[in-house]
Structure 1
Amino acid sequence: LGDSLMQLEPRSPAATSALPSNGSNLTPSDVERCYEIGRVIGDGNFAEVRECRRRHDDQILAVKIVERSKLTGREHMMQNELSLLGSLCHPRVVQLLAHHHTQTHSYLVMELVGGGDLFEAISDRGRFSEAEAGLMVLDVSDALSYIHSKSIVHRDLKPENLLVEKVTAGVCRLKLGDFGLAMVVTEPVFTICGTPTYVAPEILRETGYGVAVDVWALGVILYILLCGFAPFRSRDRDQEELFKLIKQAQLHFPSPFWDSASEGAKGLVRSLLQSDPAARLTAEQTLQHTWVKAMASASKQRAPTGKSQRGVQTSAAESLTDQTAGSKITLRRCGELTARGQEEAKPALLQRQETTWLNHHPNRVFFSNQNTPMRSSHLQALHLQQQQTPSQRLSLSSATQTQQPSSIQRTKSAIHA
């Protein structure tokens, strides 16, 4: 990674005082003198995330340990992420405190957000009250407004990259993390990247895009928070059909899932999921939206009761059930989803994978977990083989699901590596 990846100036004066100043020539023992490395809390293609204790002040942090040999040819991606994170300081953005580099590994020291990620929360709860969802939208739009003011687009906003910070009275707040695909945008971007369920239509149209793609993704997340499934989904788990639906952007609020939702909530979803990015709300407008401010205020003022505004929410210890069309879905604590009844009657739930797709070429090269280029002509066979759900990212590592309409796969990731 060269001299450009020397250690970051620490946020606190003594944060890395135990380490030599020439951060690119450290040894593992140098790092261990400053940090006590603990348990694994997340892993990915290039890195694992562990808890760590900073020895000089006993502060518990997170450290993302990157195996540098796996970044060969992609060193610029880490340089970009470190450069962007080093320039950000906001309460709703995960903070990078320092980074250090040995001959074989890089260590990114970050604040520890101890509540897991939003994907896990959705898997446990199924859906949220409008008050809870409003507070989450407030947090995310606050983070997006901040980075957009710096002309930074995240490009991979999704529940896996939103970390849960548990505060007093059981209220959960969110922090934006994983800036691996983020970039400064000063003119329209044409690179195809993102995660299929959350990708904006202008990315798929290849007409050029900007920071508005993050707001579209926020709209998808809000829709999921309020009803438990994504707004655009292919019943046959077909990627091309999913993309067609996203480009059409015909939004529906099916009964009974949306029967109790307020017009304010539906109106905000419509404003965020506008096909034309120029007609879409900005992050700042979302932050100031009447429904968002009212719901966030209501959520802060009362302790959660486990009940929605107009009905009982499923708790983390209970099963998620859907009685539609005489069928029943049960979400087990082990993370497996079993189903009985009519598959086509049930909405697809979320599925976590480990790969986001990125394409710099007009013939659409997709990257798998094994970092093997996969051309689009082979994708359909892979999708059929893997029984992918619409919200699944392009990946070769998912287990085959032969009798399930959808599945939820958990990983240990609290910080997407």
Structure 2
Amino acid sequence: MWLNGLNLMDLLVKKLFSYPGRDFKSGRDTFAPFCKLDAKLNHPHSAYRTIHIGGTNGKGSVATKVAASLMREGHRVGLYTSPHIFDFRERIQINGQLISHEAVHRHLSHIFEEDTESLSFFSLLTAMAFLYFREERVDWAVIEVGLGGLYDATNVICPSACAITSIGWDHMEVLGNTLEEIARNKGAIAKSGVPFVAGPSAAPFFPQAIHVQRHNPYDLENQEIARAVLSTIGVHNPKGLKEKPPCRFEWRGDVLFDTAHNPEGFLRLLEALEYHFPGQKFYFAVAFSKGKDFQSCLDLIRPHAQGIFALRGDHEKLVKPEELNLPIEETLPEVRPLVVCGSFYIMNLKPKKGRETLGDWESDDGILSIQKRGE
């Protein structure tokens, strides 16, 4: 029995999602197989200029700002980020438009003709992004690191510029138990002779880099990092710096969504709240991925909270809400003002029926709506 295109597409995507998200324990073991796949695909990323963005926090926001600014210069720009919130196609965009279902089908079919046994979900998506950007003849591709840098699949590229947005405590089981070890791993994306920008918390570890000063709120800091990156490639008056991905200090009605998920991210979120709303306390609805230092994050927000609730998400990577020792909510609680934070995996939760605070982020034609807010 022949499969129609839709059924085959479903099977290909199902196969894609059967791969491990990332092989955290043996990144060095998966990098070599990815390099082999990249060679089999004839190094598609060599067909366009690239910019590489890494760091503990802020890398997705900086990548989005750089891509938006290049687009406003008249370029055709690919953007590869992770993780996604609603649809895995959010990770692969050209000029703000998500990769089509047809292109996913086409490139997955191509990739699965090769040996992919030792690869991960992230590695396969990286290969798909590189192929898609080559096929669509982009001028630039802005590439966000997935995890760390040294053994990340994206580290096969030879960028025109790169940046480390921040260095903080996260993924220590993979990157190391000191900030120096974490910085060493992340800094591996820096290439000899390539302009290299370091955000404020990264600057002490990279004296050779172009340094950016600390700013508050944190989106201003991300803007300045993006500005510095763009300046190294000759864009001195960028127009896209206020663009940001969904759920980065984003209000939907009277609910604020933010992807802060580690102590440094929570600290910057709280600084931004104090900047915009001096002295005000908020309700917080939180969930955390397994392995995160959720206790430190909760300790940070308690002095700023009217109340804290644990959300029960449906993602397998989330800590069970019972472990947080907080009142548990199945959906967004009715209390306001409410801040939803702690994990990417709860950013798609809807409010209770009757409270319209979460709008659609993707239109039918696959255009991702990026919220624009002035400071």
Same fold by TM-score greater than 0.5: no
Alignment TM-score, normalising by the size of structure 1: 0.30
Alignment TM-score, normalising by the size of structure 2: 0.32
Tell me which structure has the larger Cα radius of gyration.
1
Structure number with higher strand proportion:
1
